[in-house]
Structure 1
């Protein structure tokens, strides 16, 4: 077994680690020695590169299976899972989603890795984590937008000119009857968090169709 794997398993609490983590775990080794360990582990497929300076153990060495939603929070942040990934998580869209779609207030970024692609869209808003919940289990931790916030993010990113509930059914094939029901106050709070004309038009159209 590569020495690096032993160091990670014995000294670090997580299966995802950075160059800085390795430097702190094995300070007795030089930068060149640590780089050689990482390079050898990558070549032997013992670790995977998530982005520059960030890695994870491959499945055979992981203490617990890693999920892409949890990984997305570490790769780039602050951010939360949203749009197609969140809608699929809630069972609202029929298609499987193989790219993890996230939202951040930092600049948009895309990371292509061996464990999947992660796309981060910049969506300006007053409070990033408004209408976002934390999902935590023994093996994972991530933040995910509510269904309606995910739809607002979708409208903003894709510049959708939606003013009714029909596009949700026709374009996204969402069964709108299973969408959560919000009060007028909740819809207004969601709308005001964005300051976006597109989102305002969308939510006002939804409220009209739902007779709220």
Structure 2
């Protein structure tokens, strides 16, 4: 019953579990509450300012807002940060892109949430690898490693969906790793681009 849920206790439990972005289904599993009660509680507490609805069925604590990378991972699953955003994160591009770019095995999608633009690009299931969890005291998010972010980006160059940025900084890149990731896409043009730039 939603009457048994107390907003302050809900907030404390979510923070204790380090759950900063959640779906109504995840909320149900945490608090063992019926679907109707959850819907009522989430709507009421969104109106009262405890939660912010990021998209239909996805919420965050308004008082303890997650960072953009965490939102990017949670909003469209499965996904990991890659492409231009990851390249800039690793210092391989001199400027940070406007949009947080992520790889997904689902359909290509874009979202805008008041302060941030999020773009998700489809890659093959076989190529959905080469990422890890970056965890600090204040955030945790999935991001491609340097070589995988570059290969994801170059794959889109190879299919004509991106143009090759001539400002790429390719210092300390492992060419063998690039080629191994490139083979996952089964595209000769991608392998040729990798060989040409390294």
The 8 Å contact of residues 125 and 193 in structure 1, kept in 2 or not, is answered as no
Aligned match of 1:52: 56
SS of the residue corresponding to residue 41 of structure 1 reads: helix
From 202, 207, 210, the equivalent of 2:193 is 202
The count of corresponding residues between Structure 1 and Structure 2 is 188
Offset of 1:161 from its aligned partner? 8.9
Query: Runs of 4+ in structure 1 displaced over 6 angstroms?
Result: none
How far apart, in 2, do the equivalents of 1:111 and 1:6 lie? 30
The whole-number CA distance in structure 1 between the counterparts of 2:129 and 2:39 is 37
Query: Contact (CA 8 Å) 2:127, 2:181: kept in 1 or not?
Result: no
Q: Within 5 Å, which residues of 2 pair with 1:150-169?
A: 150-158=149-157, 159-160=159-160, 167-169=164-166
Question: Once superposed, what is the RMSD of the aligned Cα atoms?
Answer: 2.7
- Identify if the C-alpha distance between structure 1 residues 5 and 181 changes in structure 2 by more than 3 Å, giving closer, same or farther: same
Which of the two has higher C-alpha Rg?
1
Indicate if the aligned counterparts of 1:4 and 1:37 stay in contact, CA closer than 8 A: no
CA contact (8 A) 1:9 1:15 kept: no
Q: What residue number does 1:20 align with?
A: 25
Q: Is the 8 A contact 1:105 1:122 kept in 2?
A: yes
Deviation at residue 122 of structure 1 after TM alignment: 0.4
Give distance in 1, aligned partners of 2:169 and 2:183: 26
Distance 1:43 1:9 in 2: 15
Distance change >3 Å, CA 6–CA 92, structure 1 → 2: same
Consecutive unaligned residues of structure 1, counting only runs of 5 or more, are 208-212
Distance 1:96 1:79, change over 3 A: same
Q: Name the CA distance, whole Å, in 1 between partners of 2:27 and 2:132.
A: 32
Question: Is contact 2:148-2:178 (8 Å) kept?
Answer: no
Instruction: Give the secondary structure class of the aligned counterpart of 1:121.
Output: strand
Which residue number corresponds to residue 35 of structure 1?
A: 39
Instruction: Identify if the C-alpha distance between structure 1 residues 11 and 134 changes in structure 2 by more than 3 Å, giving closer, same or farther.
Output: closer
TM-score, with structure 1 as normaliser: 0.74
Structure 2 CA distance, aligned partners of 1:112 and 1:161? 21
Structure 2 residues without counterparts, runs of 5 or longer: none
Describe the superposition over 1:163-196 as per-residue Cα deviations: whole angstroms up to 9, x where unpaired.
xxxx442xxx2334xx32324x333312212112
